Amino acid sequence: MDHSKLKFQCIMCFSINEITKAEMGHQHTCTNCGKVVQLPNSSFSSGRVIADDFVIKKKLGSGAMGSVFLAHQLSMDRDVALKVLFYQFTKDENYADEFNEEAKAAARINHINVVQSLAFGSDQDLLYMAMNYVDGITFDKLIKRHGKMNVDDALNIVQQVAEGLHAAWTEMHLIHRDVKPANIIITDDGIAKISDFGLARQAHKVNVQTISGSPAYMSPEQFAQKPLDCRSDIYSLGITLFEALTGRLPFSGTNASAVAYKHLNEPIPVNKIKPALNRHVRGLIKRMTAKNPDDRFQTPENLLNRIVEIRKKMAVDKAAVANVHTMSIKRQSFTNPKRERSLKTLAEYNRESQQTKQATNEHRRLYAIAGSLCVVFVLLVMFYSLSGTNHQKNSTKVIDKKLTVLQNKVDKKLTDLQNKVDKLTKQNSVLYNHLKEIKELLEHKPKKNSAKQLSENKKKSEDKKLVKTKKD
């Protein structure tokens, strides 16, 4: 029996109840309203309360470090994204201490292109981090859904992420360490936000770090366990840009060491892309993903300058390209009609995903209608079958009556027939007897005599007469 405690919100009165793990999946009487409620089977189901403040609504997804839930923060009456780390991280005390420090630092980054950390802490044996809930689509899902992206749209997103990295680096000396499309969320109005900053480590605190992050996007120095700085994030962002423009990863392999080998030794296959990428964009990716950090852009700001330069050269609507550090401000003022038009390209992706969401909702609605119709149909069938039973009962009675009449008629006919048969049998037996008699008669009748016999008979009878006369 597991007697460790959990807290759940009563679905009837919303008060918080403490239960034991052993009670999960069973019925529980609310300590406040006294109503009996069914407890879910899983510890992280809707209604679970964490740190007396976060009520889980639903699971949003999970990654390498933990699961993310949409939760309601009771104290602030707002929805948040709550990342609950896996037990393997929480049981490691060093990690828990480090996590607290990192999360504190990350919570101080307040930038439009960074998902804001709101709270962090522990509840019994779990560690959590609450972040702003971003209603949007992750960049990896966007790439999977649409394949290769238009160059300016991809650069627009990378530029925004670089703004977020710049803020973290200049304000807090923080690096992300896990920049990848799955950690970039794009809102419906086209704002890209980098998430999971709380899980990064302050660069000056760590010299030799244990390998973490996603191998497909990790820098050579991350694999080599060398000290990291903002240039490592620039490398990972370069891989992200490559993936957005080609729809595939530059280096892949059956295991992490095969991927690591390629990141450490093989040149990025940017020249092999067909149709060929613009030379400025090729050059940008090459520089972002140079094996040696010294050959890369040295800061996010350097990178930003180059991105803006390229976009201003290449973009169809050059005026729509936001300058370095001004993107978020310009983004909110849609006064320039040309800019509005350019934003539409990215907005289209979002609109499509919005439409997909709407279509999904539409489908759900249709399914609900179809479901209701089915229920109505089933109810109607049940109703008619029930009323039909009465109807059937009545018709059965009529049929029974008719059958009885018919049966009587048949019986009568049968009796008549039987009588006739009896009569015939009788007649037949009379006839038979007659025939028998005739036969017998015929058998006893003297046969046609020959003349000799006749004379013999005559003689006999004459002899008889003579004898008689003598007697007399």
Ligand X SMILES: Nc1ncnc2c1ncn2[C@@H]1O[C@H](COP(=O)(O)OP(=O)(O)OP(=O)(O)O)[C@@H](O)[C@H]1O
Residues with catalytic function: 178
- Check binding of 81 to ligand X (CB under 6 A): yes
| SS3 call for 21 | helix
- Check binding of 350 to ligand X (CB under 6 A): no
For ligand X, the closer of residues 71 and 304 by Cβ is 71
- Check binding of 182 to ligand X (CB under 6 A): yes
Residue 131 contact, options Mg ion, ligand X, none, Cβ 5-8 Å cut-off depending on partner type: ligand X
How many whole angstroms from its chain centre is CA 303?
40
Rounded to a whole number of angstroms, the minimum distance from the CB of residue 284 to ligand X is 25
For ligand X, the closer of residues 193 and 263 by Cβ is 193
- Is residue 196 within 8 Å of 184, Cβ to Cβ? no
- Check binding of 121 to Mg ion (CB under 5 A): no
For Mg ion, the closer of residues 196 and 243 by Cβ is 196
Per-residue contact string for residues 101-120; x = within reach of ligand X by CB under 6 A: --------------x-----
DSSP string, 221-290: HHHTT----HHHHHHHHHHHHHHHHHSS-SS--SSHHHHHHHHHHSPP-GGG-SSPPPHHHHHHHHHHT-
Structure tokens at 219: 């820098």
Binding segment for Mg ion among 55-63, 95-103, 124-132, 422-430 (CB under 5 A)?
A: 55-63
* Residue from 16, 19, 74, 134 binding ligand X (CB under 6 A): 134
Residue 134 contact, options Mg ion, ligand X, none, Cβ 5-8 Å cut-off depending on partner type: ligand X
Rounded to a whole number of angstroms, the minimum distance from the CB of residue 182 to Mg ion is 6
174 strand-pairing partners = 202
* Residue from 12, 64, 76, 376 binding ligand X (CB under 6 A): 64
Distance in angstroms between the alpha carbons of the first and the last residue of the chain: 142
How many other C-beta atoms lie within 10 A of the C-beta of residue 15?
Answer: 11
- Is residue 175 within 8 Å of 200, Cβ to Cβ? yes
Q: What is the 3-state secondary structure (H, E, C) of 83-106?
A: EEECHHHHCCHHHHHHHHHHHHHH
- Check binding of 178 to ligand X (CB under 6 A): yes
Rounded to a whole number of angstroms, the minimum distance from the CB of residue 150 to Mg ion is 25
- Is residue 30 within 8 Å of 12, Cβ to Cβ? yes
Rounded to a whole number of angstroms, the minimum distance from the CB of residue 248 to ligand X is 18
Residue 55 contact, options ligand X, Mg ion, none, Cβ 5-8 Å cut-off depending on partner type: none
Rounded to a whole number of angstroms, the minimum distance from the CB of residue 2 to ligand X is 26
**What angle is formed at CA 336 by the lines to CA 333 and CA 341, rounded to 5 degrees?**
105
DSSP string, 46-93: TTEEETTTEEEEEEEEE-SSEEEEEEEETTTTEEEEEEEE-HHHHT-H
Residues that bind ligand X in the complex, under the rule CB under 6 A: 60-66, 68, 81, 115, 131-134, 138, 178, 182-183, 185, 195-196, 214
Q: Which residues are at the interface with Mg ion (CB under 5 A)?
A: 63, 183, 196
